[in-house]
């Protein structure tokens, strides 16, 4: 749906709790008329901004281009509304489509049935006109279509991203419960890291926080490793424009250190593989060390970590783990800001420090807290008492 200026109203999807971070990212990219929605941010931009958003946004999961909006009370009205679009503008009968439906409505209770009716409306339009039709292809289709029904309002969008943008392309191995890349980037941006101080994750797992921190510190686009985006198959795709955007030099210098460790040699091996695949081997220091023995640089820095929170450890073990984290912070991290993501309130209580900030984030289906502990120098640590 074009504006009077020839630009488009676009939507970037994200996780709950990261909407404001995504808002600021879009501001920096030059987006206009930015509005925060639930788990999404809408904005206005042109074709080049669609390309830039997919390449550069760290906290978006996908970028949608709405093309039609209408009201529908039942599947017949849905079918009719879909047929109001001239689908030959976007695809030929020889190509393939995939349809993703999200439904929040009393009248449409099954997203799969919505998907089937939308598919019928599109292929019937082609068949009625030329006697042939595009096929449905879930994997790597020519055109991915997004249907969003809220009560009786149906929004039809083209998905410019394809696979979720959290799939950067650098991860080739993972631990049992890896942190989502978009969530990791969001946590780092929420911390207000100045990109000058050292960045440390002493329980790094498969290395996601370390890699996302390096991409942020050196201003490397997170989409640089992707093989393709869905917009590259659109009829209006401008290859020269995309090449110019993709090849634009954005990397900057970073004087600090990015350091990670883990008690598990297997986890460190996996992290090393991912770091090497991202081309960041010389930008990240990694070693096998338990948190109890990790000694950070004396200069002030930022620590962000995502410790285990219950899937594979018993509660007693968890309390001991988080109590150890609190002790290490008090005695070894003077001058640091430490951020911890966890699910259990008991875990945070075991840390024994008073957080200076709490943010609610959803790590998959789990409602987690992302808490900040400001570790002051010297006697100021006495300000932190057992809760």
**Which pLDDT band holds residue 382 (cuts at 50, 70, 90)?**
very low
Summarize pLDDT for 286-331 with one digit per residue, the tens.
999 999 999 999 888 999 999 987 655 555 688 899 999 999 999 9
User: Can you give the pLDDT at residue 109?
Assistant: 80
| 50: Cβ contacts below 8 Å, ≥ 6 apart | 8, 10, 63, 65, 160, 231
* 138 has a pLDDT exceeding 70: yes
Summarize pLDDT for 197-251 with one digit per residue, the tens.
999 999 999 999 999 999 999 999 999 999 999 999 999 999 999 999 999 999 9
Mean pLDDT of the chain: 92
Q: Which of 162, 157, 160 is nearest to 137 (CA)?
A: 162
**Which pLDDT band holds residue 42 (cuts at 50, 70, 90)?**
very high
Phi-psi category of residue 195: left, alpha or beta, with phi > 0 → left and psi -120 to 50 → alpha = left
* 99 has a pLDDT exceeding 70: yes
**Distance (Å, whole) CA 260 – CA 294:** 9
**Which pLDDT band holds residue 175 (cuts at 50, 70, 90)?**
low
> Strands, E, within 95-230: which ranges?
96-104, 135-136, 143-150, 153-159, 198-201
User: Can you give the pLDDT at residue 317?
Assistant: 82
> Strands, E, within the chain: which ranges?
8-13, 32-37, 40-45, 62-71, 96-104, 135-136, 143-150, 153-159, 198-201, 258-262, 285-288, 301-305, 337-342, 357-363, 366-374
Summarize pLDDT for 333-353 with one digit per residue, the tens.
999 999 999 988 888 999 999
SS3 45: strand
User: Can you give the pLDDT at residue 291?
Assistant: 94
* 8 has a pLDDT exceeding 70: yes
């Amino acid at each position: 749906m074009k504006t009077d200026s020839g630009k488009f109203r676009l939507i970037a999807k994200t996780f709950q709790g990261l909407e404001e971070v995504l808002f600021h990212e879009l501001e920096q990219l030059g987006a206009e008329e930015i509005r925060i929605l639930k788990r999404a941010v809408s904005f206005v931009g042109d074709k080049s901004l669609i390309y830039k958003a997919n390449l550069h946004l760290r906290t978006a999961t996908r970028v949608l281009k709405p093309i039609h909006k209408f009201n529908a009370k039942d599947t017949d009205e849905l079918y009719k509304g879909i047929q109001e679009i001239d689908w030959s503008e976007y695809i030929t009968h020889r190509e393939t489509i995939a349809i993703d439906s999200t439904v929040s409505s009393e009248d449409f209770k099954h997203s799969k049935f919505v998907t089937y009716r939308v598919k019928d409306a599109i292929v019937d339009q082609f068949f009625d006109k030329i006697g042939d039709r595009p096929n449905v292809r879930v994997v790597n289709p020519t055109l991915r279509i997004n249907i969003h029904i809220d009560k009786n309002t149906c929004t039809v969008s083209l998905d410019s991203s394809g696979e979720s943008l959290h799939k950067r392309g650098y991860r080739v191995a993972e631990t049992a419960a890896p942190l989502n890349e978009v969530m990791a980037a969001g946590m780092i941006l929420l911390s207000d890291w100045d990109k000058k101080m050292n960045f440390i994750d002493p329980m790094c797992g498969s290395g996601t926080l370390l890699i996302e921190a390096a991409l942020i510190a050196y201003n490397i686009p997170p989409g640089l490793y992707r093989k393709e985006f869905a917009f590259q198959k659109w009829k209006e795709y401008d290859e020269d424009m995309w090449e110019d955007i993709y090849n634009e030099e954005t990397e900057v210098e970073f004087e600090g250190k990015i350091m990670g460790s883990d008690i598990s040699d297997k986890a460190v091996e996996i992290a090393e593989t991912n770091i090497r695949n991202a081309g960041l081997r010389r930008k990240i220091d990694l070693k096998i060390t338990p948190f109890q023995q990790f000694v950070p640089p004396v200069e002030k820095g930022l620590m962000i970590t995502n410790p285990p929170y219950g899937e594979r450890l018993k509660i007693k073990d968890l309390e001991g783990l988080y109590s150890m984290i609190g002790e290490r912070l008090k005695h070894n991290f003077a001058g640091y800001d430490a951020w911890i993501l966890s699910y259990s309130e008991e875990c945070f209580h075991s840390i024994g420090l008073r957080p200076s900030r709490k943010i609610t984030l959803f790590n998959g289906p789990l409602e987690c807290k992302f808490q900040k502990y400001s570790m002051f120098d010297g006697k100021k640590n006495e300000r932190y008492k057992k809760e």
